[in-house]
């Protein structure tokens, strides 16, 4: 089966690369961050606002959408992009992460993952075959193979059995795909064990996937271990296909991962932090709920030209947040997503000019000079 996506590398700087990913719903420049729209919406943002910020690919979740409103309904409505009114492409996570995050209502067996719905208590059995079928009905441009997202902490033998299950499921996902217009990515697991990461990478890259992801990181392990395993995994992935680091993360983590050669990222951090009163800025992360901002006339970020920074002061945004006004969540979320989009654009330009390392070092130094150390970026 010919790949339904095209990936063209336009520039490199060390392992970092700038490319173009072409899907049936348009193209995007990489490295790229995907806002998380778990239930077919990025919280607090409209699709046209996302497009105006430069986003051409967002993430949704097969498990949640299979429960509500149902994959069949979305299929009848023309697929996810049309259903949500997004003029771009959609990547769907298969539901493997939910087996870990919703462990209290799920159980994993050789055949798949059995969920007791958090919506109505009904049973949903996700097998590799049904996970692909659901994503095909959703009309995702990029589908993810069903995997077991290995939790942390975990012992060696548990991590080993987990990656072997992921490898068997990957083969079944390949056999189950039917729609030649939808791409399918495989996922590398192995927790924090280097030999297991290498084994998983060899297993998954031996299969005819259209791209490859690295999962099971940023789930509670030490930051140094996360970075080490991410770098090792990236080094073993084919250079001619997209590389996706799942669930990562902070601006510092993304900058490090771009230097490793990753192309795609997703994380709830910019939206969740925004709803909880935190803003990412060029000088570090600030918590708008703090009293020091009650009379602060400055914008969130003097270097930012997003709509909230053009129109609202920190004092006003703090008032909105403390008063429980919806506009606080909208404004802070919009700013954070704008910040992440601008970060990606600047990274792309730095790779193209072969100045990426200097760019990343300068930016990290600036971010870490934040006066608000309790809310500063992790490095």
Where are the chain's structural domains? 6-266, 273-375
- Residue 377 has a pLDDT of 33
* Residue 260, H or E segment: helix 251-260
* Residues 85-119 pLDDT 10s: 999 999 999 999 999 999 999 999 999 999 999 99
All residue ranges of the chain with pLDDT < 70 are 1, 369-379
Counting beta carbons within 10 angstroms of the beta carbon of residue 364, is it exposed (0 to 12), middle (13 to 18) or buried (19 or more)? middle
Give the CA angle between residues 94, 97, 103 to the nearest 5°: 125
* Residues 155-191 pLDDT 10s: 999 999 999 999 999 999 999 999 999 999 999 999 9
Q: Is 93 in the active site?
A: yes
* Number of DSSP helices (H) and strands (E) in the chain, helices first: 15, 16
- Residue 370 has a pLDDT of 58
- Residue 355 has a pLDDT of 98
- Residue 25 has a pLDDT of 96
Q: Which of 93, 141, 253, 263 is catalytic?
A: 93
Report d(CA 331, CA 309) in Å as an integer.
9
- For the entire predicted model, the pTM comes to 0.96
Domain 6-266 class, CATH top level: alpha beta
- Residue 378 has a pLDDT of 32
- Residue 283 has a pLDDT of 87
Q: Which of 147, 210, 253, 266 is catalytic?
A: 266
Give the CA angle between residues 195, 201, 205 to the nearest 5°: 155
What is residue 374's three-state secondary structure?
helix
Report d(CA 139, CA 193) in Å as an integer.
35
- Residue 368 has a pLDDT of 78
């Amino acid at each position: 089966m010919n790949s339904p996506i095209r990936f063209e590398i336009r520039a490199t700087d060390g392992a970092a690369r700038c490319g173009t990913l072409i899907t049936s719903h348009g193209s995007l420049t990489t490295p790229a961050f995907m806002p998380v729209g778990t239930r077919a919406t990025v919280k607090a943002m409209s699709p046209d606002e996302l497009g105006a910020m430069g986003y051409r690919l967002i993430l949704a979740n097969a498990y949640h959408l299979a429960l509500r409103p149902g994959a069949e309904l979305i299929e009848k409505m023309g697929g996810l992009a049309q259903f949500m009114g997004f003029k771009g492409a959609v990547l769907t996570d298969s539901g493997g992460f939910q087996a870990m995050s919703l462990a209290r209502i799920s159980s994993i067996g050789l055949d798949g993952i059995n969920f007791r719905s958090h919506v109505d208590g009904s049973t949903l059995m996700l097998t590799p075959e049904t996970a692909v079928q659901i994503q095909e009905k959703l009309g995702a441009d990029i589908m993810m193979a069903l995997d077991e997202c290995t939790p942390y902490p975990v012992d060696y033998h548990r991590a080993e059995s987990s990656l072997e299950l992921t490898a068997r499921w990957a083969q079944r996902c390949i056999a189950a795909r039917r729609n030649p217009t939808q791409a399918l990515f495989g996922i590398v697991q192995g927790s924090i064990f280097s030999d297991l990461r290498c084994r998983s990478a060899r297993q998954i890259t031996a299969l005819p996937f259209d791209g490859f992801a690295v999962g099971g990181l940023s789930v509670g392990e030490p930051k140094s271990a996360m970075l080490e395993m991410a770098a090792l995994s990236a080094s073993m992935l084919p250079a001619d296909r997209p590389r996706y680091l799942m669930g990562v993360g902070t601006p510092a983590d993304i900058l490090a991962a771009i230097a490793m050669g990753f192309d795609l990222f997703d994380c709830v951090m910019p939206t969740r932090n925004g709803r909880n009163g935190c803003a990412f800025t060029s000088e570090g992360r600030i918590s708008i709920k703090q009293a020091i901002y009650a009379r602060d006339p400055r914008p969130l970020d003097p270097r930012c030209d997003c709509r909230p920074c053009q129109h609202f002061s920190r004092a006003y945004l703090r008032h909105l947040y403390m008063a429980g006004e919806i506009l606080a969540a909208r404004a802070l979320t919009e700013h954070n997503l704008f910040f992440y989009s601008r970060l990606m654009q600047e990274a792309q330009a730095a790779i193209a000019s072969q100045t990426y390392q200097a760019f990343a070092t300068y930016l990290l130094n600036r971010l870490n000079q934040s006066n608000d150390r309790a809310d500063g970026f992790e490095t």
